[in-house]
Chains A and B, each alone.
Chain A
């Protein structure tokens, strides 16, 4: 079950943060823009897909004579629903992304958010009232015009429907003004979102929030025709809920659903009356496959046009076949091959906004032990040996592309100040810190390591660390648990050392650093966000982290000044974590893509492939032909 592993790990991780996010810091992701897109959408202008040109030149190795009658063939893992407010998994999110449009969007998954169904917006002086103007002439798949009322309805569903898995997006993260009862349950209809007229939507927040526009780009906020489903009080519903969530998901996106067979396949076709430029391909078809060897064989039989990294089994990945030809910021372009069928595939990767780490239950694991872990952890070594180099070593929880000051500042801060050895295994120091605390050969500390059962990559990482830690008088037991079991045990405070990752809800450091806000890590509370139990009793820097996070919370306005204050606080939290070792950051996983040379998909930005709309993909009239068939002849091993 090795590599399934990666798949489910990814699926779940994204499931968690799921697909949203984009850099509030448009500047630092500029490199990731693939050229055009970064600049194109600064203004609130029309939906100019600046990315198109930039990506065409940047992404592909050769010009393709595009055939608009072609369908893009991809793979996916099991899809659960098409209801944008119910979906929490990436597999569903990918398809929903094609069918539903929201007010805002990350063009080609770049971190700079741009308008999609909005044409303009205004913010009040206290940054709590957003007035958005809708694009003219947009319509849903069923022919209805897209109006502000549809958004008000969609938002109400998000907050109040029993089908919603994401109510906290609008009530807590975005913080739209609303009434709740004593138990904190949302009172239906009390949300302060108003359709002023058909084309004007007014959203009233209870406090300023710097990532409001980014949040609105999440598909959970996508337009749904008013009254379509009767799952909120006061609406009858035109169609049954299951009809909407599985057969007839009506959105305003570039594609509409053609067919879905649970656990088998799904396909969408071009929506001709799309409000933007209609899609350059006839549709997209996803075959649902979960087993890693089946995925690999399906791809090698050229049944897909492109293979995204969670799909390619790590066991099949051979770093020697990769030749990177060009690097632009966080993006890398090149070729990979020859693969088994003889073809050389176009390769692309980006370091997206994610972070994988070791977490400690600080109430159970004393500080010297945590520091010993940090000393022996050589991030580069683990990335190379366990993950075959498919990621960037991590020293901060905040990924480089959204780190205050950008990737360079990240690098510099880590190189100059990381206290436990930058790319070094420091067993001697680990031993020393343990011996100073009174541990020795006859007084070992026993600690339990728990990783996801679905992945043996982390188990390998654990084995490497275990062998090194033994010399530092730490006896580590390795154990695996299913993902949901892991979470539950974490919430109950039963874990000691655990491995997890985080993918952003919105592309700013506070989305990550909330995990390091000590009060939110108390597992005796009902809903801890990480399982650290970080307090002053077990860490001298806890107060620093608490204060810094308060600064972040108090400075949420989307202004430069507030951002500067936040940025300083972010770094303070990272340093507090270094001091107390709540997390040992391990790596930022690449999002890789392998495509046959007859297809040209624009490179996705740091939001990752699941945030990309496939309306600008080009597929050659003559598929296959190329490498695969011919080399078949030459490879006559028999």
Chain B
């Protein structure tokens, strides 16, 4: 983990500081060429590069994330991340869940009933879902929901709870968990509202992985169900239900685990496009604008967190393997 972090951070530093973007230029803009020198000095960009590098690494590895240079000058990076990250995580959770809850059962259904009408329908649907580009689906969905009144005669915006189609979900209900007991209806409304606000985005974001998981789930089930030990079990007279749940299901999950964990990471970091279209302004968007403006402390901090998450998902993935497949264990 340490080498991964150090290598990652070194690459970030090199890309940003040796790249063509000058954060001082991003701050002052066009009218003030003299000001650039002053800002460069303030940011410590006039020091030798190796000294900047050492400072950058030492700060990060001691969890001193520093202050944003450009995006919100002077604001500590962790404060910014605290604002942006919860939305992305909220969105990420639901998109992973949607994919799991819809994709895997469909895949298993298709795998258990191969070459039937249902299988074709699910498989074909999976391919289509998989093929639809996120940005396109997102724009279409926003446009359709915005005009739901005209198109379907029902208004998405005011359905159940009043929410906007674009803009970040209101996650304030999370900060007062006691509200669930003291002010139940308002709290649940907050929850539903937040859920509804990210649902279209989560659907879009989950769509590709949903298709993926469906296809891989189907193949995995087909492979397992035709394997020798299933046949043996069947010959021994084990009821079909037990075969499916105990032998096929568990074994078919193994190839799905890296897919799911891999996607979980992608969803946390790689949802820029969808976040932008739905104006959710989450971590991906923050990362993107930070890179564009060479906001080194912010890019560094976010990358640092991404690397930590990446390592953590890998650990989680190994742990899941041991849960699903008892043959795998920690040495």
Chain A residues engaging chain B, CB cutoff 8 angstroms = 12-13, 15-18, 78, 80-81, 86, 88-89, 162-163, 165-168, 172, 241-242, 245-246, 261-264, 287-291, 293-295, 297-298, 300-301, 303, 340-341, 481-485, 487-489, 491, 500, 502, 505, 526-529, 632, 635-638
Contact = CB atoms under 8 A, between A and B. Distances in A.
B166 A487 contact: no
Interface stretch (B204-212, B233-241, B272-280): B272-280
A191 B147 CA distance: 59
A500 B31 CA distance: 12
Nearest to A528: B33
B31 A505 contact: yes
A303 B277 CA distance: 16
B279 A298 contact: yes
B9 interface: no
Interface in B42-82: 42, 70-76, 79-80
Contact of B30 (A295, A300, A500): A500
B252 interface: no
A289 B166 contact: yes
Given A246-B75, A301-B165, A527 B33 contact: yes
A88 B22 contact: no
Given A78-B289, A294-B277, A638-B151, A303 B164 contact: yes
B146 A297 contact: yes
A297 B42 CA distance: 40
Given A287-B167, A301-B165, A168 B73 contact: no
Interface of B: 20-23, 25-39, 42, 70-76, 79-80, 83-84, 139, 142-143, 146-147, 149-153, 157, 164-168, 276-279, 281, 285-286, 289, 292-294
A238 B143 CA distance: 49
Contacts of A632: 149-150
Given A80-B73, A165-B35, A298-B167, A12 B22 contact: no
Contacts of B151: 637-638
B286 A263 contact: yes
Given A241-B74, A263-B286, A297-B166, A17 B30 contact: yes
A291 B39 CA distance: 29
Contact of B83 (A86, A168, A261, A500): A261
B279 A290 contact: yes
Given A246-B72, A303-B164, A638-B152, A527 B21 contact: no
Contacts of A172: 34
B33 A529 contact: yes
Nearest to A183: B37
Nearest to A185: B38
B126 to A, nearest CB: 27
A78 B71 contact: yes
A87 B27 CA distance: 9
B34 A168 contact: yes
B279 A502 contact: no
A218 B38 CA distance: 21
A219 to B, nearest CB: 15
A306 B84 CA distance: 27
Contacts of A505: 31
Contacts of B147: 340-341
Contact of A17 (B31, B71, B153): B31
Contacts of B168: 264
Contacts of A487: 22, 25, 29-30
Given A291-B276, A291-B279, A297 B143 contact: yes
Given A162-B42, A165-B28, A527 B165 contact: no
B72 A15 contact: no
Contacts of A18: 29, 31
Contacts of B277: 291, 293-294
A527 B36 contact: yes
A246 B71 CA distance: 13
A15 B146 contact: no
Contact of A488 (B21, B39, B76, B167): B21
B80 A262 contact: yes
A301 B150 contact: no
A172 B37 CA distance: 15
21 contacts: A16-B30, A17-B30, A78-B289, A80-B73, A86-B73, A88-B27, A245-B73, A245-B74, A263-B285, A287-B167, A293-B139, A294-B276, A297-B142, A297-B165, A298-B164, A482-B21, A484-B293, A485-B20, A527-B34, A529-B33, A636-B150
B45 to A, nearest CB: 12
A488 B28 CA distance: 12
A433 B166 CA distance: 54
B165 to A, nearest CB: 6
A446 B165 CA distance: 49
B281 A288 contact: yes
Contacts of A86: 73-74
B21 to A, nearest CB: 5
B139 to A, nearest CB: 5
Nearest to A631: B150
B166 A502 contact: no
Contact of A167 (B38, B79, B166): B38
Contacts of B39: 165
A529 B292 CA distance: 23
A635 to B, nearest CB: 5
A168 B28 CA distance: 11
Contacts of B146: 297, 300-301, 340
B47 to A, nearest CB: 16
Contacts of A502: 30-31
Given A167-B35, A262-B84, A528-B33, 19 more contacts: A12-B30, A13-B30, A18-B31, A80-B72, A81-B72, A89-B29, A165-B28, A168-B35, A245-B74, A263-B281, A298-B279, A485-B21, A485-B22, A487-B22, A488-B21, A527-B34, A636-B153, A638-B150, A638-B151
A608 to B, nearest CB: 15
Nearest to B135: A293
A295 B276 CA distance: 10
Contacts of A12: 29-30
Nearest to B146: A297
A14 to B, nearest CB: 9
